Amino acid sequence: MTPEGSKNLAPAYSAWVDKHVILLIRVRQYFVPMPCSIIGETDADVRVSIQPGWELDIRKELIFAVEEATAGREPYMN
């Protein structure tokens, strides 16, 4: 694909920006749910906010699924 042709494509995660979501992240052979908010996107990464002041970039190839969080964030117990 040429760079000129990629200008017409919409970012895959733009519909989820500023929404509370749960990302299903692949870590080795495991899948880990991560509640967060998507705040931005590049060609290779998705920028998320885990809580105020905690932001990180996640490689797109590690994201298996995205689901909108319908309820507020609940504390997880170990």
Per-residue model confidence (pLDDT) at position 31: 94
For 4, phi then psi, to 5°, come to -65, -35
Residues 42-53, mean pLDDT to the nearest whole number: 91
Q: Report the SS3 class of residue 27.
A: strand
- Mean pLDDT, to the nearest integer, of 48-71? 90
State the fold for domain 15-68. SH3 type barrels. (2.30.30)
pTM exceeds 0.85: no
Tokens representing residue 41 in the block: 């996107």
Quick one: pLDDT at residue 2? 39
Domain range summary for the chain, segments of one domain joined by +: 15-68
Q: Nearest 5 degrees, angle CA 12-CA 21-CA 46?
A: 40
13-39: string of b/e by CB count within 10 Å (b at 16+)?
beebeeebbbbebeeeeeeeeebbbbe
